[in-house]
Structure 1
Amino acid sequence: MDSRLTVGIDVGGTKTAAVLMSGCRTVLADTVEPTDRSAPPEQSASQCRRLIDSLLEMTHSARDALHAVGVGLPGLIAPDRTFRDSIILPAWRDVDFESLLGSRLGVPVTVDNDTTMAALGHFASLRPHGRPRCLVCLTLGTGVGGAVLLDGIPLRGSDGTAGQIGHLVVEPSGRRCDCGSKGCLNAYASGTAISARYAELKAEESRPHDASAVASNIDLRTALRNGDDAADRALREAVNALTTAVSGMVNVLNPELVVLGGGVAGLGRRLTDPVQAGVSRHSFPAPARRVRVCVAAHGPLTGAVGAAVTAGMLSGTEPSDSFRLCHTVERDTR
């Protein structure tokens, strides 16, 4: 086993995933726990350390083999690498999580936005001939995150806020978003929004005395498989909003690849096929012909993989040029 180990952690609104990766980019182990969104940063740092200990124990690895840790967090990352704020983690504001976790571990810690890490995780899965010049990534989970890679390098903007695709307005007078605006993509295409819309439609159908009882028993994927009209409509509305946002990104950025991650992307081609078709109808012909819509390469672990790869690169485990990110990531199947 390669002695240079890195850990990647993806803190989501519902789950926190972690992977242990060797220096030759093999995923050795992974684990997932629920996320406590009300927890302060110190408690989350303790959870991260516990996840790391679990991964090392699972693979019988020594702690001194751990070379670096990467963490993807669902919020705005300032240019000085501090975690600025987040709708998903309301107790966090202006947190130096790199130092907070690094002091507990004694190894370098790299923090970035969770969707940026997912974009890098997908990029790392591609072989050199398949590497796009421009990649757009959206994670559809508790919220809608966004990231853009140009030649493998994240587009950040002057204030570190570039890539907030979830807050593109797709319906100016539409649903209220958690950010305070109206009609954001986040209010239509997040897993939270789709489930809420499905609950609303089912409540309208059955007129129950307690609509929350309907929401509590929802299994959207089962409903879709069973041909539930309300589920189909909720997903169709999400796809329409997603198509509007992605078509705009295609016209502006001319990407070769649009990657969809997060829990909603588990729908696979039921999601990607109508988005691809919608983009073909609503974008300029040339970029519409070029772009491909796909799901994230490592499913719900893509963000964690990206965090591990990024941490290894920035800490010196691997050469620091961005093109190393195109080398493929493999899984240990022993």
Structure 2
Amino acid sequence: MQKYAIGVDIGGTGMQIAYIGENDGIIKKVQIPTEAKNGGADIIERLSIEIENLLDENIMGIGVGTAGQIDNEGVIRSCTANFKDWKGINLKTELETRFNLPAQIVNDVQAMSLGEMIYGYSYPNMISLALGTGVGGAIINNGKLYRGTNGSAGEMGHAVLVPFGKECPCGSQGCLETYLSGTAIEKRYLELSGEEKKGQIIFKQDDEYSKQVVDEFLDYLAIAVANIANTFAPDAVVLSGGVVGSLEPFMDDIRTRSLQFTLEANKEVKILRSNLLSDAMILGAASTIFTEV
């Protein structure tokens, strides 16, 4: 018999809430703004209204993927500054108390990785690298999400790419996030040209500054992907997030550059764009109810 769950994706600007079947995938979905600046209580209240509208007797539980570092008890341990009063909330307890259903809370990129593994590429050993406003990551090991001791495993965006490089919002320097995020791409273009341009335009333009920014980005990404391949020896490294929408014309180049730095034993690694795009997180979030996380 098919299982059903509510899947939730809480992003910096928008939330998706869906009725999901283990076999059928997304059956019904709604989207609302996150309005993170209004605080955690407001997010939970508006989210709860949408969950209530989707609930029926078939729902087994509520799976959530949210921005931030989430511990194994469902507590949000850290988050980006635009989320007011989000840190410290036990989202698992909040939802279980409201709906008398089991809830599972994971980081948004961890949810995305589960979605790709279960509903997308189906590789049992897979690393997700999410390139968006920031950079995140997640680890699938032998078909299971690897969360580490405290739930935060996979934060590859804060691995150091350039020692003592650009300052990162996390407090360190030279993190992947400071070179590979959409924000980093736009900042680099501004540094070189004195003009502000959106990342999607930079990837499409043919001027000297755009070429330089994209070339630097591809080199940094290749090093990051090769480091991941050499460290984890996965079946695949899956690139996701907002930046990935611009990468289709560059995928062969990314593979070629990455393999220059990849050990011989790992040269069979597949380097792929997300198969599910924006649906990966919400499907992965719901999957935490269907299977053990």
TM over 0.5: yes
Aligned to 1:162, which of 153, 158, 166? 153
Preserved CA contact (<8 Å) 1:168 1:245:
no
2:17 maps to: 18
Per-residue Cα deviation, 1:87-124 (whole angstroms, up to 9, x for no partner):
35353222210111232333222101111111100001
Q: CA deviation at 1:186?
A: 0.6
Give secondary structure in 2 for the equivalent of 1:176: coil
The one-letter code matched in structure 2 to 1:80 is E
2:167 maps to: 176
Give secondary structure in 1 for the equivalent of 2:80: coil
The higher relative CO (CA closer than 8 Å, separation ≥ 6) is in 1
- Taking the aligned partners of 2:45 and 2:185, their CA distance within structure 1 comes to 32
Q: CA deviation at 1:271?
A: 4.5
Preserved CA contact (<8 Å) 2:117 2:124:
no
Q: How does 1:225-264 map to 2 (within 5 A)?
A: 225-264=204-243
> What is the TM-score with the length of structure 1 in the denominator?
0.79
The one-letter code matched in structure 1 to 2:76 is F
2:66 maps to: 73
Aligned to 2:287, which of 300, 309, 316? 309
- Taking the aligned partners of 1:150 and 1:185, their CA distance within structure 2 comes to 22
Per-residue Cα deviation, 1:34-83 (whole angstroms, up to 9, x for no partner):
333323222121232244356x3xxxxx6334332111122222233322
> What is the TM-score with the length of structure 2 in the denominator?
0.89
- Taking the aligned partners of 1:281 and 1:30, their CA distance within structure 2 comes to 42
Preserved CA contact (<8 Å) 2:116 2:122:
no
1:317 maps to: none
2:265 maps to: 286
2:87 maps to: 93
- Taking the aligned partners of 2:192 and 2:165, their CA distance within structure 1 comes to 16
Say if 2:34 is the partner of 1:35: yes
Aligned to 1:277, which of 253, 256, 268? 256
1:151 maps to: 142
Q: How does 1:43-54 map to 2 (within 5 A)?
A: 43-52=42-51
Give secondary structure in 1 for the equivalent of 2:57: helix
Aligned to 1:63, which of 56, 62, 69? 56
1:209 maps to: none
1:210 maps to: none
Preserved CA contact (<8 Å) 1:25 1:309:
no
CA distance change for structure 1 residues 246 and 49 in 2, over 3 Å: closer, same or farther? Answer: same
Give secondary structure in 2 for the equivalent of 1:200: helix
- Taking the aligned partners of 1:243 and 1:278, their CA distance within structure 2 comes to 5
- Taking the aligned partners of 1:22 and 1:153, their CA distance within structure 2 comes to 20
- Taking the aligned partners of 1:313 and 1:20, their CA distance within structure 2 comes to 17
- Taking the aligned partners of 1:32 and 1:266, their CA distance within structure 2 comes to 20
Once superposed, what is the RMSD of the aligned Cα atoms? 2.4
Say if 2:97 is the partner of 1:106: no
CA distance change for structure 1 residues 124 and 108 in 2, over 3 Å: closer, same or farther? Answer: same
Task: Extract structure 1 runs of 4+ deviating beyond 4 A.
Answer: none
Give aligned pairs, total: 292
CA distance change for structure 1 residues 200 and 90 in 2, over 3 Å: closer, same or farther? Answer: farther
Preserved CA contact (<8 Å) 1:133 1:151:
yes
